[in-house]
Chain A
């Protein structure tokens, strides 16, 4: 079967760094995506990993280890506007499968 796990909620302080983990088990692997979703809005694309390693994009970085079925999203210099849900999604031999999301609260 297919399974994606990520923590339900996290809290971090403005200006800090936070790491959101995602572990997955899927049939086949064609890439892992991270999306950000603010309350009441649509998910927006953040990053895509298909090879092992770190992809950096400004304050956001995403890491993948295919052998471990593991990824993380790293957010640096946290801002209040980063308070949102972060969705991990994996494309295997089937359409995109989403985790239930991690709700991040950034506090002053």
Chain B
């Protein structure tokens, strides 16, 4: 079974721009969660989608948004980029239940200049 895939792997943007990141979950997984990882803060939860609905949301500003499609693929968007948005963005998928193990994709390394 193929793992979680994320595109692009690396991205360089300038302040004020917007960016869209994509995540394809493991086949059969319906839940997709997004995390931001920085050296100082560790892994922080952004949001979770299940069956095209946002099920949970972390404490990030409204500039961070996401969506999920009927095939469970998910995208996240960050508008009006700030320098502090430079981070590794990780997507994780799980099958369904509250306690299911999450499997991570390789991440997208975003650098904001």
Where the two chains meet, the residues of A that have a C-beta atom closer than 8 Å to any C-beta of B are 30-31, 33, 35, 41-45, 48, 50, 87, 89, 91, 94-101
Residues of B within 8 A of A100 (CB): 41-42
Interface of A is mostly: loop
- B42 near A95 with CB under 8 A, answer no
- A95 near B48 with CB under 8 A, answer yes
- A48 near B101 with CB under 8 A, answer yes
Interface residue? B56 (CB, 8 A) = yes
- The number of A-B residue pairs with CB atoms under 8 Å apart is 47
Residues of A within 8 A of B90 (CB): 42-43
Residues of A within 8 A of B74 (CB): none
Q: List 8 A-B contacts (CB under 8 A).
A: A42-B105, A44-B104, A91-B98, A95-B48, A98-B45, A100-B41, A100-B42, A101-B43
Across the A-B interface, the 10 shortest Cβ-Cβ residue pairs = A100-B42, A98-B43, A42-B104, A95-B56, A31-B99, A30-B99, A43-B104, A95-B45, A42-B106, A45-B101
Where the two chains meet, the residues of B that have a C-beta atom closer than 8 Å to any C-beta of A are 33, 35, 41-45, 48, 56, 58, 90, 98-99, 101-107
Residues of B within 8 A of A35 (CB): 104
Residues of A within 8 A of B45 (CB): 95-98
Complex Cα–Cα for A99 and B106 (A) = 19
- B42 near A98 with CB under 8 A, answer yes
When C-beta atoms are compared, the residue in chain A nearest to B40 turns out to be A100
CB contact under 8 A between A91 and B107, given known A97-B45, A98-B42: no
* Min C-beta distance of A50 to chain B, whole Å: 7
* Min C-beta distance of A42 to chain B, whole Å: 4
Residues of B within 8 A of A45 (CB): 101-103
